[in-house]
Amino acid sequence: MQAEIITIGDELLIGQVVDTNSAWMAVKLNEAGIQVKQITSVSDNRDHIIQALNEAQTRADLILITGGIGPTPDDITKKTLAGYFNTRLVFSEKVYQDILELLGKRSIPVNEQNRKQAEVPENALILPNKYGTAPGMWFDLNDKIFVSMPGVPHEMKALMENEVIPRVLKLNDTMVILHRTILTYGTFEARLAEILAGFEKNLPKEVNLAYLPSNGVIRLRLTIAGTDRKSLENILDQETGKLYRIIPHYIFGRDDDTLEKVVGKLLTEYQKTLSVAESCTGGNISKKITSVPGSSGYYIGSVIAYSNRIKEDVLGVNRDTILKYGAVSREVVEKMAKGVRQLYRTDFSLATSGIAGPEGGTVEKPVGTTWIAVSGSETVISKKFNFGSERQRNIERASLAGLNMLRMVLMKNSRV
């Protein structure tokens, strides 16, 4: 079974909103053994929506549509679909009651726009939306299935998980697509391709390898498709095993691991605690760490010392050290790491100090220059990086480099 995703909304085509829904839906479809053939974004325009529906059904059996079913007048998907499927809109008391209940819970008064949302295409199966006022709609036309969902991400996700995927699984129970993703940090894409040239040449021809670089992390994805899940899994296990033997020191995780999750697992395993002192990364490392559910088990807190005054007053960095070496220096970042570790009484700490840009660069220390330190009870290690000229990328790269340094220290620690 093949699927296509159509996302509807002018906001996508003028670039006001990034389409994050499609990637999420693609993951869920893949897990259900369904390959996504194409993702198409079109405008809130009747003819264009219809053209996209026509094209998609020549390539796929399942067409998932998001967007354009909100309460405001620019939302025309529902009317267009009713026309396309040659049906009329009828008022549904059941949908209206769901809307009243939802709005009641949130103490929002119901209005005429909401009443219109209870009008649904007569020949569609209505899929209840737990988190919003626009229900999902499932159309079955000449063995092609079309599903319309809201574009609001959490509403779409609940509809997919509770309604769409369970129904799709009943229709599609033979084909299997499997992916294994190996996450690496510490080298460059071209260099990795060189190291893995022999491995790639000897891959079974049904296995596909892809390289996905992003801010220093390179993901290696192995893909295989077939009908016998067990034998496909065996092949992927074998090939994954080879990768672990060829590049063990670059691999930090698999699939949807992240550096912050891996660091969290290590801290949990060793029952150690962590604090962070951030200057140039401005909270981004702490935000990543606390995005992991359960992080309160090992992460105690951070000092964001954006001003040098806080480096002195709160973290205990000597003013003379800052004057002599500059805030972006080995001496200062190591003292920041020690300072937060003592203040927060943790086993480990991580500290950053750099020039994120666009201002603040000098000839000796251009924008992108960053010092990162990791402190444990016995030692402090630190390293200088030069990331580049773009602020957001510098912040992200410094955050990942710091988490990876911490990971390396924790792994060494495990051997002591």
Contact in structure between 391 and 356 (CB atoms under 8 Å): yes
Q: Which is nearer to a copy of itself, 88 or 229 (CB)?
A: 229
Q: Which is nearer to a copy of itself, 126 or 300 (CB)?
A: 300
Q: Which is nearer to a copy of itself, 241 or 358 (CB)?
A: 358
The binding track of 66-105 with respect to a copy of itself, each residue x by CB under 8 A or -, is ----xxxxx-------------------------------
| Cα–Cα distance for residue pair 18/55, rounded to 1 Å | 23
Q: Which of 77, 148, 302, 329 binds a copy of itself (CB under 8 A)?
A: 302
Q: Which of 357, 368, 376, 402 binds a copy of itself (CB under 8 A)?
A: 357
Contact in structure between 341 and 348 (CB atoms under 8 Å): yes
CA 161 to chain centre: 18
Residue 86 CB, nearest distance to a copy of itself (Å)? 25
Show the 3-state SS of 235-286.
HHHHHHHHHHHHCCCCEEEECCCCHHHHHHHHHHHHCCCEEEEECCCCCHHH
Contact in structure between 269 and 335 (CB atoms under 8 Å): no
Q: Which of 54, 244, 392, 412 binds a copy of itself (CB under 8 A)?
A: 392
Q: Which is nearer to a copy of itself, 173 or 189 (CB)?
A: 189
The DSSP output letter for 161 is I
Applying the rule CB under 8 A, the residues between 359 and 388 that interact with a copy of itself are 359
Q: Does 295 bind a copy of itself (CB under 8 A)?
A: yes
| Cα–Cα distance for residue pair 320/155, rounded to 1 Å | 55
Q: Which of 79, 221, 272, 384 binds a copy of itself (CB under 8 A)?
A: 221
Q: Which of 184, 284, 375, 382 binds a copy of itself (CB under 8 A)?
A: 284
Residues in the chain: 416
Q: Does 322 bind a copy of itself (CB under 8 A)?
A: no
Residue 242 CB, nearest distance to a copy of itself (Å)? 17
Give the binding range for a copy of itself (CB under 8 A) out of 231-239, 285-293, 329-337, 406-414.
Answer: 285-293
| Cα–Cα distance for residue pair 276/319, rounded to 1 Å | 21
Q: Does 13 bind a copy of itself (CB under 8 A)?
A: yes
For residue 352, what are the β-bridge partners? 278, 372
Q: Does 272 bind a copy of itself (CB under 8 A)?
A: no
Residue 338 CB, nearest distance to a copy of itself (Å)? 16
Q: Which is nearer to a copy of itself, 197 or 411 (CB)?
A: 197
| Cα–Cα distance for residue pair 114/95, rounded to 1 Å | 10
Residue 415 CB, nearest distance to a copy of itself (Å)? 28
Place of tokens 């009713």: 82
Which amino acid does the sequence have at 63? I
Give the binding range for a copy of itself (CB under 8 A) out of 24-32, 141-149, 159-167, 377-385.
Answer: 24-32
Burial class (CB in 10 A: 0-12, 13-18, 19+), 413: middle
Q: Which is nearer to a copy of itself, 126 or 304 (CB)?
A: 304
Burial 33-60 (b: 16+ CB within 10 A, else e): bbebeebbbbbbbeeebeebbeebbeeb
Q: Does 191 bind a copy of itself (CB under 8 A)?
A: yes
Q: Does 216 bind a copy of itself (CB under 8 A)?
A: no
Q: Does 238 bind a copy of itself (CB under 8 A)?
A: no
